Structure 1
């Protein structure tokens, strides 16, 4: 009995002062396992749990019943969009966080990322990803990095408000991307450095074309050139004509090394952010001059900014005051209207028009807004409105630890053995949009101006392969009483409703909630996401009245409903598990919900930083903490061997 006694004594000693992590902070536990203090330490913005107050029910409230009279065939509908791919909502990943999100190098790929993108791939057929952002402008190639990483970070660009670091990359970056593509059919946009027109550093183009092949979609030339002057990357007189001239210099430089860069028509421009309009660039003759060199025309636009709290730039925006602006159909419509002329121009010259970077607010988004169900509804509605406005794709931006708006966030490296990933609200927007449009690349969408064009209850119809296939219904109102739930009755002209329809609901208790489900499934709570959907799939079957040619679809306040008017194929998502470990010393882990130790490492010591804002912190290094779990395992195994 001596060994069991010693084992118990060791366990008591080892757990006498243990730090247990949870979602909102940490507490110190005494020997009894009860909390001896309740000190909540600072956490990174990506894990902020601010909950705002939902706006009151509008006065007057929208009608709670209305009818949608829809045509059965696309040929009978005027105003339909161009064909929209299921990959419409993609992800724009700041180059400086590739190691955190994608993997250390081509040998170690992040499994949760594969699962998250596999979810999209199974619905849309592929996933589109842009790597770049501010960090692409100063990126440069090296033959190798001593730490084995595919990328590293160097000095910070102090002239950029978001203090973005320069990125150093090796050829292994492209093998990392290629390995991800082979698993989840990811297709890529990259950005050529544009800070020095005397040396464009074409290695990122050369190696992307050689290694990624058909997985490379296009190459961005200049990221927000209309902000170059403000960021002191060009002189104060820098103009759209100057940008057009420099674009021409890049084309000439590429032509001079055409043997190294054989693809000649994959450039993306001008990616202006709103200081210049796209027309400012078109008026230089840009499209005519460079039409054969272009893959797509692109812009970048955030609805507003939250730069003041972090950087003292611009005006202060109170999240509670801003929240209602995200919770109605006007938000997406107003963002799209300035680009309707340009999407028409793009169609006339046969080029896609892309929203190359966006999210809820620049400089990292807003606490309480960007991670809320309201943001999920906003991004989904905004995406569908862009599609209706004839955008061909859009990218939700992904930063690091210090932003609120991430679709997904990897845990800090020094806590990756304790925590899993965290999902953001707008990931659900991308997931749902992939089902709205599907994988046929034939879906065309129309804004129905439903319910008297009420801004709180927008609706869309989706035609696939020329026939009515799906209907999308929004309810932005929060009202737990049920008084503002509504019923939309679908009627079909030129055909009849099916005997029943399937409905998937995107649901949360309120627009302020961070707990979201799609068809009854969730990706998990903060720090608990492995990329796989959990819970039973809940697809609601609603019987239709074929004699009256109507289907009545209930939608709660708040909620989104996707109505399938034809039988959909079952979605069987391929998921991935870890087969190789980067940490070969400590591969036995304990679930964080049971016990997670890190010798008191606090949230204040996370030094991973971001991408879109505060990225200078990302370049700093933290000291890895030692764990005591291996001692538990060793002593436990020794005890079992002796008693057996």
Structure 2
């Protein structure tokens, strides 16, 4: 081994890295195809299948007006903040997404979080899921890794492995928060409730401090009986009783000092409803302990294909249109509207704690295309309008992002998926004020293909977001949307500005894979990104007609347009622009092999044939593919010695 030191003379007390996620690929034995004649048997995350977009609706009105007013607008949401869309990382893959350990942090992850911090001021990330439920915190592991899985002890239909981890996982999270303002959710192992394992709560509070904002108590407890974790009669009152046992145990633990961080009930809305929990008196009984109320939900699943569950097989081409209209998000949210009202009545915030396009790997041609980005924007803004206080997009496959297979890490970068664009755009739409209110404008006579939202601050509209779900390369379906403020018989003087600025999220089709542009910048396609947007930013200035009190905005088919009514952009209001460049490369040969059983990807899955969700109702949860013994190296290491930043070029 040789080590070369380069003194950069930068005085900064940091440790970072260009580490690579280490996992291998194996050809899948069952292909998922959707377009006629398609055939693909490689890693699911890079499936090239392209679907046929739905036809242009008929009739389709392309011209309509959005009439806004300053002050006195009814129907606004509760105040929300720009960090509304965060991320959920299955605990079993945290070492692949976040970094190898506290000294080797994934630079692309830092950049992706920094983009959001720049717009919203902070990012919310949960490390947990089904693999947290039996996780054991050890002082160390025999081989020194911060996380290991027991492939022989898996459970659930989706093969969730038992997990052990060390405090260095928490130290790595804390170090990430020293670079970018990431606030963390963790979970207490709940499947073992006699007594609960509180080490993660103790160490989490000690290491993360104020960066720890919540502790999940139970992950999808309404599925416990179905998954044979509890007896067949296990119900809401049983969960509430176990929650009470946890509170009592924490009260007797001097090291679990903050007992007000708990999150429940976290149900999947599968075998119980939220009302089943509320009716037990859960919130009133534990109000002092509940930092948040939370649910988990997804529009559908691909579990029958990924895990041979015997359930319904959904053809991607058949479900594709259901993601491309305003009803897609509303159909998920409607069953929780009573709960958002209930949460407000109890002075609590309700989170969508885990969600994405579909469970068990998502659908090729649906979850990995531009239509999913538009879906994520509309879904996110609809949740905000419906009085959710945040949502976490589960990480897996290409969504929201994934690192390359280790044996390609020396020449490939990360893949940024469509719903990361959703999170970026929603952050910029909502902004960093932490007090924006959202209004669904029921635009275009309620046409489900052209939803629009107004964003209010201090009672006045400051931004408008318009979605065009229609796929039409001819240009005939481009929207011409007239925005007016005041006037027009609403009892207010004309208040339309002289000009507005517009940012567009664009692609050629709802079926396009990668290379979408947000205001002219992109994260590229497969293996293209280090987490920093590339390209020249392009912001459109639209001159308004103040005589007729109108600004006319063009919205191509398909696209999302964000209109800044006061001309103030939100992209730099959350925090100064920060990037973490990769400054050195690892050797590209003579690398070491790695035990595959320690490097299984997906959110708990380890099956060498199929990977996916840990929950039949879960989100897009599988990583790039199944594992086998792979090769990999640690990337460039940035470390501080005596206040001077060194770069270590390491070779094996």
Give the corresponding residue for 1:271.
Answer: 266
Give the corresponding residue for 1:80.
Answer: 76
Give the corresponding residue for 1:37.
Answer: none
TM-score by length of 2: 0.83
Q: Pick 1 or 2: higher relative contact order, CA cutoff 8 A, min separation 6.
A: 2
- In structure 2, list runs of 5 or more residues that go unmatched: 1-24, 28-38, 487-491, 612-625, 634-652
- The structure 2 residue matched to 1:296, chosen from 288, 292, 295, is 292
The yes-or-no answer on 1:508 pairing with 2:515 is: no
Give the corresponding residue for 1:561.
Answer: 561
Give the 3 Å change call, closer, same or farther, for CA 374–192 of structure 1 in structure 2: same
Give the corresponding residue for 1:102.
Answer: 98
Deviation at 1:486, TM superposition (A): 1.0
TM-score by length of 1: 0.84
Matches within 5 A, 1:187-266: 187-257=183-253, 259-266=254-261
Give the corresponding residue for 1:612.
Answer: 603
**Secondary structure of the equivalent of 2:392?**
strand
Matches within 5 A, 1:366-385: 366-385=363-382
Give the corresponding residue for 2:527.
Answer: 527
In 1, the alpha carbon distance for the partners of 2:158 and 2:541 equals 48
Q: What do the CA deviations read for 1:422-450 (whole angstroms, capped 9, x no partner)?
A: 11110000000000111110110010000
CA contact (8 A) 1:363 1:613 kept: no
In 2, the alpha carbon distance for the partners of 1:211 and 1:606 equals 29
Give the 3 Å change call, closer, same or farther, for CA 508–25 of structure 1 in structure 2: farther
Deviation at 1:621, TM superposition (A): 5.5
Q: What do the CA deviations read for 1:345-376 (whole angstroms, capped 9, x no partner)?
A: 11111111000000001112101000111011
**Secondary structure of the equivalent of 1:242?**
helix
Q: What do the CA deviations read for 1:560-589 (whole angstroms, capped 9, x no partner)?
A: 10000113256352100246x7xxxx8356
- The structure 1 residue matched to 2:345, chosen from 323, 341, 348, is 348
In 1, the alpha carbon distance for the partners of 2:485 and 2:40 equals 57
In 2, the alpha carbon distance for the partners of 1:173 and 1:71 equals 50
- The structure 1 residue matched to 2:143, chosen from 140, 147, 169, is 147
**Secondary structure of the equivalent of 2:454?**
strand
Q: What do the CA deviations read for 1:186-235 (whole angstroms, capped 9, x no partner)?
A: 00000000111113111111111111111011000000001111111111
Give the 3 Å change call, closer, same or farther, for CA 166–159 of structure 1 in structure 2: closer
- The structure 1 residue matched to 2:439, chosen from 446, 452, 456, is 446
Give the corresponding residue for 1:477.
Answer: 470
**Secondary structure of the equivalent of 2:83?**
coil
Matches within 5 A, 1:110-129: 110-129=106-125
Give the corresponding residue for 1:365.
Answer: 362
Matches within 5 A, 1:361-440: 361-399=358-396, 403=397, 406-440=399-433
In 1, the alpha carbon distance for the partners of 2:599 and 2:317 equals 28
Give the 3 Å change call, closer, same or farther, for CA 255–213 of structure 1 in structure 2: same
In 2, the alpha carbon distance for the partners of 1:140 and 1:179 equals 22
Q: What do the CA deviations read for 1:35-93 (whole angstroms, capped 9, x no partner)?
A: xxxxx984321122211110111122x211000110123xx111100111100000000
- The structure 2 residue matched to 1:67, chosen from 59, 65, 80, is 65
Q: What do the CA deviations read for 1:585-614 (whole angstroms, capped 9, x no partner)?
A: x8356xxxxxxx899x9xxx9995433363
Q: What do the CA deviations read for 1:81-110 (whole angstroms, capped 9, x no partner)?
A: 011110000000011111111111000100
In 1, the alpha carbon distance for the partners of 2:629 and 2:485 equals 61
In 1, the alpha carbon distance for the partners of 2:451 and 2:600 equals 38
Give the corresponding residue for 1:323.
Answer: 320
In 1, the alpha carbon distance for the partners of 2:187 and 2:427 equals 25
In 1, the alpha carbon distance for the partners of 2:498 and 2:630 equals 63
Give the corresponding residue for 1:58.
Answer: 57
The yes-or-no answer on 1:186 pairing with 2:182 is: yes
Larger Rg: 1
Deviation at 1:288, TM superposition (A): 1.1
CA contact (8 A) 1:462 1:468 kept: yes
Deviates more, 1:156-165 or 1:237-246: 156-165
CA contact (8 A) 2:306 2:361 kept: no
Number of residue pairs matched? 567
Deviation at 1:25, TM superposition (A): 12
Matches within 5 A, 1:141-180: 141-155=137-151, 158-180=154-176
Deviation at 1:182, TM superposition (A): 0.9
> RMSD of the TM alignment (CA)?
2.4
In 1, the alpha carbon distance for the partners of 2:148 and 2:577 equals 33
In 2, the alpha carbon distance for the partners of 1:156 and 1:99 equals 20
Deviation at 1:157, TM superposition (A): 5.3
Give the 3 Å change call, closer, same or farther, for CA 545–292 of structure 1 in structure 2: same
In 1, the alpha carbon distance for the partners of 2:451 and 2:586 equals 50
In 2, the alpha carbon distance for the partners of 1:382 and 1:231 equals 29
In 2, the alpha carbon distance for the partners of 1:567 and 1:439 equals 16
Deviating above 4 A after TM superposition, structure 1's stretches of 4 or more consecutive aligned residues are: 605-609, 616-621
Q: What do the CA deviations read for 1:361-392 (whole angstroms, capped 9, x no partner)?
A: 11121010001110110111001000000000
**Secondary structure of the equivalent of 2:455?**
strand
**Secondary structure of the equivalent of 2:629?**
coil
Matches within 5 A, 1:448-467: 448-467=441-460
Q: What do the CA deviations read for 1:458-487 (whole angstroms, capped 9, x no partner)?
A: 000000233211000010000111111111
In 2, the alpha carbon distance for the partners of 1:44 and 1:53 equals 22
CA contact (8 A) 2:482 2:550 kept: yes
**Secondary structure of the equivalent of 1:431?**
helix
In 2, the alpha carbon distance for the partners of 1:165 and 1:469 equals 48
Give the corresponding residue for 1:624.
Answer: 631
CA contact (8 A) 2:51 2:365 kept: yes
In 2, the alpha carbon distance for the partners of 1:105 and 1:42 equals 33
Deviates more, 1:444-453 or 1:343-352: 343-352
Deviation at 1:145, TM superposition (A): 2.1
Give the 3 Å change call, closer, same or farther, for CA 41–25 of structure 1 in structure 2: farther
In 2, the alpha carbon distance for the partners of 1:294 and 1:535 equals 44
CA contact (8 A) 1:192 1:205 kept: yes
Give the corresponding residue for 1:536.
Answer: 536
In 1, the alpha carbon distance for the partners of 2:518 and 2:152 equals 40
In 2, the alpha carbon distance for the partners of 1:625 and 1:378 equals 36
CA contact (8 A) 2:161 2:604 kept: no
In 1, the alpha carbon distance for the partners of 2:308 and 2:167 equals 38
Deviation at 1:159, TM superposition (A): 3.2
In 2, the alpha carbon distance for the partners of 1:211 and 1:455 equals 47
